[in-house]
Amino acid sequence: MITTAITAEYNPFHNGHKYHIDKSKFVTKADYIISVMSGNYVQRGEPAIFDKWTRTKCALNNGVDIVLELPAFFACCSAEYFASAAVDIMEKTNIVNYISFGTETDNLNELKEFSQAVLNENDIFKEKLSNYLSQGLSYPAAREKALKNIGINTPVFSANNILSSEYLKALNKLNSKITPVAIKRTDNGYNSMETTENFASATKIRSLFEEDMESVKKFVPENIFELLRINYTNGQTITANNLSHILNYVLRTSSLEELKAILDIREGIENKILKSIQNNYNFKDIAFDIKSKRYSFTGIQRMLLHIVLNLKSQDMSYFKENGFCQYIRVLGFKKSALPLLKSLSENSSVPVIINIKKDESKLSQKGKFLLDFEKKADNIYFMCQNNNFNRGPNKNYTTPPVII
């Protein structure tokens, strides 16, 4: 039995995702595809436009056999934590043979060289990195220039290539036997607003929901368009600005020391954030106001989301040192994948959660901490939904896994 895993957000699911799944299955000759999918929050520091069960249904209807949740604690973080946690889940299943990821390059060896150089940071690299950071460059940009200075051919500087290198780095750290496979993207990139035939980025598609709903149909599989249309029309959606009230409440009631404890808050940026709310209220307006050459808009969004969710640096450091994911949660599966689900349950090195009511008692204290964080994050997510009737609490207890 060959199993290939894909880390994804499906925010929302589109034709490019379908292509990646089909191509991955063909290249690896996989019997099953597992998706390790972000829950209700995504890596760019925002809530997902559609909830995790809706996105799970989209994935299962388009080639994925089992969807596992990448916990919010890691899903809304930088590429290093996001990728490390995803690979950690794959490794702990003990049933994954391949990891497939989308890139802007066909050169897997270049990505491997890049990831190995980042993993084995030498003194010259560290000195160069420090110099570029002191010039005000963002960390990814400074790292890229530092690597070029020591003779490393860096891949095209893009979100997907950065993530790909982090997947490879995580595999190296774990000395994993999982084989990496790179699939070149079909669109013009992660944040591209351009379209190519029937392909568009998730960023472009999210904008089209507001501009021209019918035009979305061209870029998503036919079997899920109606589901997405109904959910969007009914207001079963959320954007970053829906978190504005909570963000402002936390900022107005927190001390500087409390803000400094939040993940990624450093170098006095908490002062800039507090200054910004004097003239800005909406989540995105605050992020735009603070962004700079050193701090990207996405990086600022992540900081603000960490503040909303109370994601602390010391907690992340603990899980980085003591094993990222303490359980594996199944968000949904195909009936035809029951043999795979059985194999997962039998071989996983951490507890497998299918029904929270029954399975959370299996968790260690570390596992309970992560699951409690997930519940809190999900309660915030649904509390801020556009549709009043979708704002009920404790969805993790009332929503069963998706089975098709």
Please choose, from the candidates 45, 88, 276, the residue with its C-alpha nearest in 3D space to the C-alpha of residue 176. 88
Residue with tokens 């089992």: 66
Would you say 250 and 228 are in contact if contact means Cβ atoms under 8 Å apart? no
Would you say 341 and 75 are in contact if contact means Cβ atoms under 8 Å apart? no
Q: What angle do CA 37, 314, 308 make, to 5 degrees?
A: 60
Which residues are paired to 402 by β-bridges? 332
Per-residue confidence (pLDDT) for residue 196, from 0 to 100: 72
Q: What angle do CA 75, 80, 83 make, to 5 degrees?
A: 55
Per-residue confidence (pLDDT) for residue 109, from 0 to 100: 80
Options 3.30.420.240, 2.40.30.160, 3.40.50.720, 3.40.50.620; which CATH number does 3-107+162-190+324-403 get? Answer: 3.40.50.620
Which portions of the chain are predicted below pLDDT 50?
A: none
Would you say 97 and 330 are in contact if contact means Cβ atoms under 8 Å apart? no
Name 330's Cβ contacts closer than 8 Å, sequence gap at least 6.
66, 67, 68, 69, 341, 344, 352, 353, 354, 401
Cα–Cα distances (Å) from 139 to 130, 299, 341, in that order, read 9, 10, 40
Would you say 73 and 235 are in contact if contact means Cβ atoms under 8 Å apart? no
Distance, C-alpha 176 to centroid of its chain: 21
At 206 the three-state DSSP class reads helix
Q: Contacts for 52-55 with beta carbons within 8 Å, 24 or more apart?
A: 52/331, 53/331, 53/332, 53/399, 53/402, 54/227, 54/228, 54/231, 54/236, 55/9, 55/10, 55/11, 55/12, 55/13
Q: What is the pTM of this model?
A: 0.92
Q: What is the C-alpha to C-alpha distance for residues 221 and 15, in angstroms, rounded to an integer?
A: 6
Helix (DSSP H) and strand (DSSP E) numbers for the chain = 21, 12
Per-residue confidence (pLDDT) for residue 210, from 0 to 100: 86
Q: Give the DSSP H/E element, type plus range, for residue 378.
A: helix 365-383
Can you say whether the dihedral through the CA atoms of 349, 351, 355, 358 is positive or negative? Answer: positive
Which parts of 175-268 fold into alpha helices (H)?
202-211, 213-216, 222-233, 244-253, 256-260
Give pLDDT tens digits for 313-358: 999 999 999 999 999 999 999 999 999 999 999 999 999 999 999 9
Q: What is the C-alpha to C-alpha distance for residues 382 and 391, in angstroms, rounded to an integer?
A: 5
Burial of residue 361 (CB within 10 Å: 0-12, 13-18, 19+) is exposed
Burial of residue 121 (CB within 10 Å: 0-12, 13-18, 19+) is middle
Per-residue confidence (pLDDT) for residue 136, from 0 to 100: 73
Per-residue confidence (pLDDT) for residue 156, from 0 to 100: 53
Q: What is the C-alpha to C-alpha distance for residues 343 and 179, in angstroms, rounded to an integer?
A: 19
Can you say whether the dihedral through the CA atoms of 100, 106, 107, 111 is positive or negative? Answer: negative
Domain ranges for the chain, please list them.
3-107+162-190+324-403, 121-154, 240-316
Q: Give the DSSP H/E element, type plus range, for residue 359.
A: helix 356-359
Would you say 72 and 41 are in contact if contact means Cβ atoms under 8 Å apart? yes
Name 227's Cβ contacts closer than 8 Å, sequence gap at least 6.
54, 57, 58
Q: What is the C-alpha to C-alpha distance for residues 360 and 381, in angstroms, rounded to an integer?
A: 21
Would you say 111 and 105 are in contact if contact means Cβ atoms under 8 Å apart? yes
Per-residue confidence (pLDDT) for residue 108, from 0 to 100: 81
Please choose, from the candidates 325, 401, 375, 351, the residue with its C-alpha nearest in 3D space to the C-alpha of residue 83. 325
